[in-house]
Structure 1
Amino acid sequence: MKSIKLLTNNDLAKITNHRSGEIKFGEKMITLPAKENYHDFLKNTTAQFVLLGISEDIGVRANYGRSGTASAFKNALKSIVNIQHNKFCKGSNLIALGEIDVSHLMEEAKNLAITNKEDKKRLFEIVSAIDKEVSHIVHEIINTGKIPIIIGGGHNNAYGNIKGLALAKGKPVNAINFDAHTDFRIMEGRHSGNGFTYAFEDGFLKNYFIFGLHESYVSKSVFQTIKDLKERIAYNTYEEIEVRKTKEFNVELENALRFIKTEPFGIELDLDAIPNVYSSAMTPSGFSMQQAREYVHFFGKHKNASYLHICEGAPDLDETNNNHLTGKLIAYLITDFMKSKTIS
């Protein structure tokens, strides 16, 4: 896996806060032996889940967003390794694979300006290159029978996740997305705002449900596109559920599941849908952290739930002494997903 910067036991030990009488996740998480065949190792390991990081913000910048999402994986990892390994959730059920090596692309992209026509084109090309890496690795993980948990980067990486799942299953797949935005904008070149559009048009995405759209942040043209494709794209809005109260959160979870459950599906969660979480499009209004956790658990427990992707978190934008809280939230969501598959 040349494109992966593999994590080692030593890497985990350095950031694990060891304490007498306790067992932390970092002491039990599984890492890939340096000279082992990764496919055989993943296939033969009893752990169900594979943790994969994507430390990039190129897709966000190509979408005129704020940089910072490259910091989410490392930030989250520090929280994940310090979770307690106990009867509710075991570190030994998680393979800490590592992160996709995009350092050379990040280095190139930092000198590119979205306001420059040629630079913008190159940013789109770089995002497409990342797509190929993500789809290949997600495909490989799923082919070993494991469930990827993908952390970090912009929502552009939804494309690679969906493509990787579709290739592994040999057919188009579905997706559910907890998000303030559709990320179904026009195909003007790859960025964080059109990953689902490209996955749909390229034949990898069959049914797509957006959970909790913010009505004032979706264009009229995108709403028209969704209307034209209503047999395959559906949504509800945050305002319907929490402001006007014309729909109920739990009922909407069930409605969304019916729309996607007949095929393997990916669970997407954009942290910019949760108030006051540092992200590229931070919001003061939206579903609570509790509701986000319920969302992950509810969809994760279905047999066709095939991956979890948590994106757009940007802890580096938090200049307070609490920038670890974004990583801690991600760790909660990861364990909620793991428990959904193991606790009935």
Structure 2
Amino acid sequence: MDKLVLFNRKTCNSLLKKRTGESKFGQHIQTLTSISNIYEQLENLDVTYVILGLPEDVGVFANHGKTGASKTWEAFITTLLNIQSNRFYNANRILLLGHLDFSEEQDQMAKLNQSRKKDVLKSRKIVEQIDKQVTHIIYQIVLAGKTPIIIGGGHNNAYGNIKGTSLAYGKPINAINFDAHTDFRAEEGRHSGNGFSYALSEGFLNKYFVFGLHENYTSDQILDTFENSENLDYNTYEALEVKNELKFKKELKRASAFVSENKFGLEIDCDAIENIPSSALTPSGFSVNKVRYFVNYFAKNEHVAYLHICEGIANKKKSNHVAKLITYLVTDFIKER
């Protein structure tokens, strides 16, 4: 637990922008005061959700992607704390745990050159260390009976989310991924593009559905893998939104039937959303309202084990824009649970 940095009330108060007659989210959320015995504290705390930040983008770097997702957690927190606390949800049922401090790993990455194969391999070794930290904290949160809400960071952290949750339940879990990519690349060393393939091969993931896959960025090899496995399924963005071969609501039901007979993780990659700064920004993607509907739909399912939102980049020009988007998705999830 040496990487966990608790979010404290003093920091919370410094970020709050109070107004007379208003009650802000940050005035009512819960925090921990001690870093020791995290599991016992969580188990005894009367909360439903635990919000955790994973401010890193080593996994993105290791997958030859655009870095920047490490800054998103900080922007998100300021936005989240300052939304209204009102009748639509109970902020008292939410613990803002804090974040895992990956500054050392980020510094190591900064010394590497993405164009050098040896350096990329080194970064993939760093991701393995990140995996261990993510797995451990997610395991404790789920074992304590709470629902993690994880803000990334890279999509490499899907592996730790799945493994930690699987270990807590003592069996493999399922996952649905709202994403332009499968993140099911070869097991060539850990990075943001193979969290799900590693989780499946190691027995932590059972069934996996990719919602809104982009046809232009998926190889025949991966398509063959999906189409020849009873445990893998997908639909494409083009079939849903361009060619209108599939209906969005019907596909929600089909995807739900595929994953929800068991505990499942809900994964949201910002690169599936049109014009949202991410590690793989797309000019053609789902609208923000579509992804909000998606989160709302799956949040109602009793078997959803966690929510993970990743790959968004809160850059200088659109920091507030991305932070607001993630805040909407988090509160949509909370409101329907």
Match of 1:260 in 2: 259
What is the CA distance between 1:130 and its match in structure 2?
0.4
Superposition pairs for residues 56-95 of structure 1, below 5 Å?
56-95=56-95
Q: RMSD of the alignment, in Å?
A: 1.0
The structure 1 residue matched to 2:320, chosen from 315, 320, 324, is: 324
Q: Which moved more, 1:114-123 or 1:136-145?
A: 114-123
Judge conservation of contact 1:178–1:273 (CA < 8 Å) in 2. yes
Superposition pairs for residues 207-246 of structure 1, below 5 Å?
207-229=207-229, 231-246=230-245
CA deviations 1:56-114 (Å, max 9, x no partner) are 01000111111100011111111110111111012212101010111111111111112
CA distance in 1, matches of 2:244, 2:72: 33
> TM-score normalised to the size of structure 2?
0.98
What is the CA distance between 1:262 and its match in structure 2?
1.0
What is the CA distance between 1:41 and its match in structure 2?
1.9
CA deviations 1:204-259 (Å, max 9, x no partner) are 00000000011111111111111221x10000111111111111100100000000
Q: Which moved more, 1:200-209 or 1:31-40?
A: 31-40
> TM-score normalised to the size of structure 1?
0.96
Q: Secondary structure at the match of 2:156?
A: helix
CA distance in 2, matches of 1:112, 1:45: 42
CA distance in 1, matches of 2:57, 2:158: 13
Match of 1:173 in 2: 173
Q: Which moved more, 1:30-39 or 1:297-306?
A: 30-39
Superposition pairs for residues 304-343 of structure 1, below 5 Å?
304-316=303-315, 319-320=316-317, 322-341=318-337
2:77 aligned partner, one-letter code: L
Match of 2:125 in 1: 125
Judge conservation of contact 1:54–1:99 (CA < 8 Å) in 2. yes
Identity between Structure 1 and Structure 2 (%): 46
Match of 1:274 in 2: 273
Task: State yes or no: 1:164 paired with 2:160.
Answer: no
What is the CA distance between 1:323 and its match in structure 2?
2.1
CA spacing shift, 1:35–1:195, aligned 2, 3 Å: closer
CA deviations 1:140-164 (Å, max 9, x no partner) are 0001110000001110000000001
Q: Secondary structure at the match of 1:198?
A: helix
2:57 aligned partner, one-letter code: D
Judge conservation of contact 1:71–1:152 (CA < 8 Å) in 2. no
Judge conservation of contact 1:180–1:273 (CA < 8 Å) in 2. yes
Task: State yes or no: 1:109 paired with 2:105.
Answer: no
CA distance in 2, matches of 1:67, 1:35: 30
CA distance in 1, matches of 2:224, 2:188: 18
What is the CA distance between 1:36 and its match in structure 2?
5.8
Q: Secondary structure at the match of 2:235?
A: strand
Judge conservation of contact 1:274–1:288 (CA < 8 Å) in 2. yes
Match of 1:54 in 2: 54
Match of 2:34 in 1: 34
Match of 2:286 in 1: 287
Q: Secondary structure at the match of 1:182?
A: coil
Q: Secondary structure at the match of 1:155?
A: coil
Match of 2:296 in 1: 297
1:283 aligned partner, one-letter code: T
* Structure 1, unaligned runs of 5 or more: none
CA spacing shift, 1:36–1:105, aligned 2, 3 Å: closer
Judge conservation of contact 1:266–1:305 (CA < 8 Å) in 2. yes
Q: Which moved more, 1:30-39 or 1:329-338?
A: 30-39
What is the CA distance between 1:309 and its match in structure 2?
0.1
Q: Secondary structure at the match of 2:97?
A: strand
Q: Secondary structure at the match of 1:118?
A: helix
Judge conservation of contact 2:6–2:35 (CA < 8 Å) in 1. no
* Structure 2, unaligned runs of 5 or more: none
Q: Secondary structure at the match of 2:66?
A: coil
